[in-house]
Chain A
């Protein structure tokens, strides 16, 4: 990855609560995490997003204290916790497999952490049931974990990690063990509980929908590095590389060279399209340089008539069409051979006589909907 695409270390932020400072983790000759900088604000739900092996889980394990960084520091609420043992950290984790103690009841699982702390007995009981109430599991306190469904186990695991009132909560792939149908509902429920408790939370996930649904900010990781960091909207609308554009949602990428470079717009000539592309933001790349333009499928309009505009359109043939319920997904083969994906909303499909298979169509998009990517 190009250095310029790496998001700057951290904004000088008064609300900064967790700070990961140039952390590196090397196993043997494998670099799992390479110089990661990260800043997480108080009461924020922050997602580390990436495919497996990108280093996100290693980073989470270093935050929990199960691994020590090869170099770099980790600060929590201004305190250096880099070398602190996991049992001394005000950090609790909800494990991917939940890691509930199978020989203990739900109540014993949740009270485990408080007993270690030496909290008085009646207070333990009170706090355990407070936590179980929060996740609506108070009626199951005498059950053993294997008598619970996956969703119920997850709730108990959440109660167990919240009952100690940690300064930082870590969620490791929180939804991966749940059925797809209940995932989205659970995601929203989890965010509601975390907001109610007001805990700062860092989660790890490979599922971009999950990150977008739950996180207030997210960082996209690949090959042990953070490639982009921002709110879900920022990262979706202004990806800083082809990798991020393709990882967060799907996108169309056109390759071209910059022919006009003005502060408020650029023109990009591409062999793949009939017309040049007009993008209404300036770029720092020099004239004549090869760049990529990302246009999301839902930004592409499909029509039978040739657009009147000077820029941002081309011609193609419908090569595939799939009805997705809320929208129709078109695949269009352009004259250049490039296949472009377009998502046409249901309403538009209903209003107009939608083009069918093998019909010649024109695609068009606005200058605001395109993003220039250098790498």
Chain B
């Protein structure tokens, strides 16, 4: 009886423990999102707020006015579709570049001796100590036509006229990869550092050359880390505003900029809200993937722990 009782109390406590995070998420994620969703179905009008109400009670009649104009425009106007495609493309390219650059870095850090390892991890995290805005401004200074890079290359006589990087997609890619590389390295490092080196020895013992051992043992076993890192890069990159705004050209189409324009320049709240809602839909797919991947990893770790 007593055991039953304590067990009951434990499970109640356990349920109570997850209330704060759920309340937090509901209050600061779900409610705002529902507000945005509501606005996306409104129509534009002058006044405060600058959109029509969703439901009105007049003459004992509840009238629900759902305006689909924003969503229809989203699919009719090729600018929006092009922006979505371009945002996803830029996020994908950034993710792939981060993977290609970040994997060797994470691998090297995980294999280094513990003291050097901590120094290198610190070096990866160090940029976070200054604001992103400042660091992107620094890139402006480097990439401008009369910036550090062009001046250096011209002084060395490697080029005659400045390279046009600033205010192009290339500059945006450089900025995005620079800013999000740590988000790829850290989860992958956490995976690689746990790797059991005896598995590599077993692979060598069975006749695998170093590259084959990497390809068939290390890489597949580090995939959860690669996936986690990729999603941590991909998801925020799709909606990134600061970097494309500061480094990109007028033709750099990204969702973050589009939302800004709709919201602040056109004061079209319903349109901005619709752009946001569709973006959330686009992001839910990789988010669900992340969730699935984490659940699977957690599950297998728990089963490993048991045996």
Contacts and interface: CB of A to CB of B under 8 A. Distances in A.
Interface of A: 64-66, 85-87, 91-93, 95, 97, 99-103, 112-113, 116-117, 146, 149-150, 160-161, 164
B14 interface: no
Nearest to A66: B201
Interface of B: 196, 198-199, 201-209, 212, 216-217, 220-221, 300, 303-304, 307
A357 B32 CA distance: 85
Nearest to A116: B207
A146 B304 contact: yes
B304 to A, nearest CB: 5
Given A64-B201, A87-B204, 17 more contacts: A64-B205, A87-B205, A87-B209, A99-B196, A99-B199, A99-B201, A99-B202, A101-B199, A101-B202, A101-B203, A112-B203, A116-B206, A116-B207, A116-B208, A116-B212, A149-B307, A160-B206
A149 B306 CA distance: 11
Contact of B206 (A66, A85, A97, A113): A113
Contacts of B220: 103
A37 B171 CA distance: 65
A150 B198 CA distance: 17
Label chain B's interface by main secondary structure.
Answer: helix
A338 to B, nearest CB: 47
A97 B203 contact: no
Contacts of A101: 199, 202-203, 217, 221
Nearest to B201: A66
A117 B216 CA distance: 14
Contacts of B209: 87
Contacts of A100: 202
A103 B206 contact: no
A149 B209 CA distance: 30
A161 B205 CA distance: 9
A342 B94 CA distance: 77
A367 B261 CA distance: 105
Nearest to A61: B201
B209 to A, nearest CB: 6
B225 to A, nearest CB: 13
A112 B307 contact: no
Given A99-B199, A102-B221, A146 B206 contact: no
28 contacts: A65-B204, A66-B201, A66-B204, A85-B204, A86-B205, A92-B206, A93-B202, A95-B201, A97-B196, A97-B198, A99-B196, A99-B198, A99-B199, A99-B201, A99-B202, A100-B202, A101-B199, A101-B217, A101-B221, A102-B221, A103-B221, A112-B208, A116-B206, A116-B208, A116-B212, A146-B303, A146-B307, A160-B206
A95 to B, nearest CB: 6
A93 B221 contact: no
A152 to B, nearest CB: 11
B202 A164 contact: no
A101 B198 CA distance: 10
Of all A-B residue pairs in the complex, the 10 with the closest CB atoms, nearest first, are: A113-B206, A116-B207, A99-B202, A86-B204, A99-B198, A87-B207, A87-B204, A116-B208, A93-B205, A103-B220
Nearest to B197: A99
Contacts of A161: 205
A117 B217 contact: no
